[in-house]
């Protein structure tokens, strides 16, 4: 036997005839116990000696288990231990049901001293393991409450213990345990359901505009184009380094709209102020897809004077940016609120002039009645010009001096800055084409806003596009009182906007929605007509909130079902209110189309306004505006050069043909017998006739940017003449005063 890492052998010579050898076991193991033999020999003799080596093992609990009998109610606990020499087992109970302390914890030793307890112990020796196995069984005849038991084993080498908890083996206690477990499961399930519902109700960004693909024969089922199937022309791409982002114009739950400066979008302007739509960094893939769908729809529609036009996009190498026109004066609601005092002042001045003319004294309460209108809440509308003053100046404190809102032309690169050329002029001059430069907000402005919105919606309808959220908050004001339709849902927190009501998994602008949209989820261009009527009500209440007398609950739904309609606004004429009522027809088939609404609203305008609008529209379609240039056909073989706007044929084609393409399917017209009796293009309302008569007799000249008008045409100045003419009609005057 040679030395190794597990044992060592040493030999010593004690004398000439005496020797000593030692065997040292390193880290002795239990299996190394047993009989060992030592042999000694020389040339004369040989001897051997055998002895038994016992390995002592500390006591250890190897098993502790419970055996319960449901029939008898007894509970049995068995503790098994091993050790050498034979370990002793003792039982104790702990006063604390949760744990037993090793020191200082009061325990009660258990034994065969009670009729309720039985204790049985047996021990056996395992020769192959060289240890004793001891089993101790504790029998409890009755357990009335939870009990913590401890089994302790020990011998002279050490001790060891384990704990076990016993619960009453009775039916009531089991019922309680089962009930608690079920209650926890139910609470867990309910919590999961609540989380799922909240997640589903969380609004997801979706573009409100939809393009109709086909309509059923009865006109009650619509199939919409999947925007992702629309083509996207890469010519809309703008390098990201051409954009310099600025301040935030509006921010919502999904994204934001920021002011930016774009370089190189137009040949006539090195820089242009634009608005950029973008998602937040936490946007999900579905929201990115929705923004891309919006981009494809905007590029599909094409340009129009009264639409917030697409100027470009950034879709590669980073987040999606949609570049649109920038509208300096924000949304129409906020604009009406900020300029309400100029509207009231204009009619106060008119009343004073009439008093001087007829020698009548104006009653103080009559003048003050113009100031009795309450300032409506803007409902959290986005204001793209927050640096403008929002202070309303009372007329009684003005003393003839009115602080008008800052709506004069600015120096920044407006999208409508055109290059005009005259043969008599030696060089080209830049100017801004404006519809109306007057700082006053007049009745004719309100009609003009309505007329422009109708034109924009007529364009969308010609493209089979349904807006689904037409409201004054989605109409923006540009230079020269030009209005543009948009959808700024991305920059609006609809969860906190009182104009949007939670319904199902989305938030809807119920006050602006047609009955068929609310109750049947049917959206058409004629449901947009209903919304246009609500928008008229907003305009002629100077930014009022629709249905101010109805709470948004079942009372609102029941009122709409019963045919309730809002009363005539304070500043609306009978003709305007009649148009509203036509838009609010319960049967959508008999509502006027937007083409008819353009005629109806145009008949209420003076000729010079309509001519100026047509002039601006034509110049816009002939200009080098990025939205117009990018949609012009290219000249083959000339490096994709665009056709110049040298003739009106391009404008005519765009407006007459509506830009139809493979993705537009003509929709069936409403049944002839269902269409209400509406005036045609040539018809003029009574108010308009009187206005035109006054226009003919006016000696104020019309400052036309296209040169002098023909001698036989009536002339007027939009900055002053239109306001005076608009007040010539007695019925209109009575509606204000």
330 is in an annotated binding site: yes
SS3 710: coil
Closest-CA residue to 552 (of 505, 507, 489): 507
CA distances from 722 to 124, 242, 577, 727 (A): 118, 42, 21, 9
Q: Which residues contact 18 (CB under 8 A, 6 or more apart)?
A: none
| Torsions phi, psi for 123 (to 5 deg) | -130, 145
- Provide the angle, in degrees to the nearest 10, between the axes of the packed helices 607-622 and 443-462: 40
Q: How many whole angstroms separate alpha carbon 736 and alpha carbon 687?
A: 14
- Tokens representing residue 48 in the block: 């051997």
317 is in an annotated binding site: no
Closest-CA residue to 691 (of 607, 615, 588): 607
254 is in an annotated binding site: yes
Q: Quickly tell me which residue has 């309808």 as its tokens.
A: 461
Say whether 469 is catalytic. Answer: yes
Bridge partners of residue 273, in order along the sequence: 261
Q: How many whole angstroms separate alpha carbon 717 and alpha carbon 518?
A: 45
CA distances from 494 to 19, 263, 378, 382, 503 (A): 102, 33, 14, 12, 12
222 is in an annotated binding site: yes
473 is in an annotated binding site: yes
Q: How many whole angstroms separate alpha carbon 634 and alpha carbon 644?
A: 10
Q: Quickly tell me which residue has 């973008």 as its tokens.
A: 278
Contact 346, 318 (CB under 8 A): no
Tally Cβ neighbours within 10 Å of residue 176: 13
Closest-CA residue to 675 (of 602, 600, 585, 565): 585
400 is in an annotated binding site: no
CA angle 350/351/356 to nearest 5° reads 95
Q: How many whole angstroms separate alpha carbon 552 and alpha carbon 30?
A: 84
556 is in an annotated binding site: no
257 is in an annotated binding site: yes
CA angle 443/356/446 to nearest 5° reads 0
359 is in an annotated binding site: no
Q: How many whole angstroms separate alpha carbon 658 and alpha carbon 464?
A: 10
CA distances from 666 to 214, 331, 457 (A): 8, 32, 16
Contact 484, 327 (CB under 8 A): yes
251 is in an annotated binding site: yes
For 442-493, the DSSP string reads -HHHHHHHHHHHHHHHHHHHHTTEE-S--SGGGEEE-GGG-EEE---GGGS-
325 is in an annotated binding site: yes
Tally Cβ neighbours within 10 Å of residue 247: 10
The continuous run of DSSP H or E covering 412 comes out as none
Q: How many whole angstroms separate alpha carbon 227 and alpha carbon 465?
A: 11
SS3 66: strand
101 burial via Cβ count (<10 Å: 0-12, 13-18, 19+) = exposed
256 is in an annotated binding site: yes
Bridge partners of residue 7, in order along the sequence: 25
640 is in an annotated binding site: no
Choice among 334, 378, 383, 469 that is catalytic: 469
Q: Which residues are annotated as a binding site for ATP?
A: 250-257, 277, 325-331, 473
Q: Which residues are annotated as a binding site?
A: 222, 250-257, 277, 325-331, 473-474, 487
Q: Which residues are annotated as a binding site for Mg(2+)?
A: 222, 474, 487
Q: Which residues participate in catalysis according to the annotation? A: 469
């Amino acid at each position: 036997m040679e030395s190794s890492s597990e044992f060592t052998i040493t030999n010593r010579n004690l004398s000439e005839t005496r020797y000593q050898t030692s065997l040292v076991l390193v880290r002795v193991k239990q299996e190394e116990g047993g009989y060992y033999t030592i042999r000694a020999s020389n040339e004369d003799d040989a001897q051997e000696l055998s002895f038994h080596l016992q390995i002592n093992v500390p006591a250890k609990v190897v098993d502790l288990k419970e055996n319960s009998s449901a029939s008898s109610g007894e509970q049995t606990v068995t503790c098994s231990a091993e050790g050498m020499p034979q370990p002793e087992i003792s039982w104790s109970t702990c006063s604390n049901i949760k744990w037993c302390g090793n020191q200082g914890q009061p325990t009660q030793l258990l034994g065969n001293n009670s009729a309720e307890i039985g204790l049985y112990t047996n021990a056996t020796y395992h020769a192959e393991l060289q240890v004793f196995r001891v089993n101790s069984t504790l029998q409890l005849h009755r357990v009335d409450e939870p009990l913590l038991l401890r089994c302790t084993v020990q011998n002279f080498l050490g001790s060891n213990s384990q704990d076990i908890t016993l619960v009453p083996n009775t039916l009531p206690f089991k019922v309680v345990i089962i009930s608690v477990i079920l209650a926890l499961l139910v609470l867990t399930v309910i919590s999961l359901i609540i989380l799922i519902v909240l997640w589903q109700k969380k609004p997801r960004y979706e573009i409100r505009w939809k393009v109709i693909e086909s309509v059923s024969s009865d006109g009650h089922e619509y199939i919409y184009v999947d925007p992702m199937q629309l083509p996207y022309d890469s010519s809309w791409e703008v390098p990201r380094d051409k954009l310099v982002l600025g301040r935030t114009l509006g921010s919502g739950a999904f994204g934001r709209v920021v002011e930016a400066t774009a370089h190189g979008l137009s040949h006539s302007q090195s820089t242009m102020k634009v608005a950029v739509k973008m998602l937040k960094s936490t946007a999900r893939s579905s929201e990115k897809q929705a923004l891309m769908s919006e981009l494809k729809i905007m590029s599909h529609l094409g340009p129009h004077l009264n639409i917030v036009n697409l100027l470009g996009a950034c879709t590669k190498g980073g987040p999606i940016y949609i570049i649109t026109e920038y509208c300096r004066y924000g949304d129409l609601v906020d604009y009406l609120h900020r300029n309400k005092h100029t509207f009231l002042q204009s009619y106060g001045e008119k009343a004073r002039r009439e008093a001087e003319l007829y020698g009548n004294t104006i009653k103080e309460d009559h003048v003050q009645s113009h100031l009795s209108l309450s300032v409506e809440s803007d409902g959290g509308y986005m204001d793209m010009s927050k640096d403008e003053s929002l202070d309303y100046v009372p007329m009684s404190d003005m003393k003839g001096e009115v602080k008008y809102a800052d709506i004069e032309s600015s120096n920044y690169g407006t999208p409508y800055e055109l290059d005009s050329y005259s043969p008599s002029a030696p060089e080209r001059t830049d100017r801004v084409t404006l519809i109306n430069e007057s700082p006053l907000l007049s009745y004719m402005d309100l009609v003009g806003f309505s007329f422009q919105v109708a034109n924009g919606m007529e364009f969308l309808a010609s493209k089979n596009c349904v807006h689904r959220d037409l409201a004054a908050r989605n109409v923006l004001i540009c230079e020269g009182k030009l209005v543009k339709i948009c959808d700024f849902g991305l920059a609006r927190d609809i969860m906190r906007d009182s104009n949007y009501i939670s319904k199902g998994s989305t938030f809807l602008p119920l006050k602006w929605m047609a009955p068929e949209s609310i109750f049947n989820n049917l959206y058409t261009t004629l449901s947009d007509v209903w919304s246009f009527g609500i928008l008229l009500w907003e305009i002629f209440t100077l930014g009022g909130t629709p249905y101010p007398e109805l709470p948004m609950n079942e009372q609102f739904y029941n009122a709409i079902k019963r045919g309730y309609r809002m009363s005539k606004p304070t500043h609306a004429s009978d003709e305007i209110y009649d148009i509203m009522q036509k838009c609010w027809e319960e049967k959508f088939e008999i509502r006027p189309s937007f083409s008819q609404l353009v005629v109806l609203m145009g008949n209420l305008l003076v000729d010079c306004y309509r001519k100026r609008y047509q002039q601006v529209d034509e110049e816009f379609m002939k200009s080098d505006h990025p939205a117009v240039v990018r949609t012009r056909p290219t000249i083959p073989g000339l490096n994709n050069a665009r056709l110049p706007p040298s003739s009106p044929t391009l404008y005519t084609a765009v407006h007459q043909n509506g830009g139809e393409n493979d993705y537009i399917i003509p929709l069936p017209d409403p049944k002839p017998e269902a269409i209400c009796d509406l005036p045609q293009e040539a018809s003029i309302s009574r108010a308009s006739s009187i206005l035109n008569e006054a226009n003919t007799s006016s000696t104020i000249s019309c400052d036309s940017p296209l040169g002098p008008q023909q001698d036989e045409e009536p002339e007027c100045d939009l900055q002053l003449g239109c306001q005076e003419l608009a007040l010539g009609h007695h019925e209109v005057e009575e509606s204000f005063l």
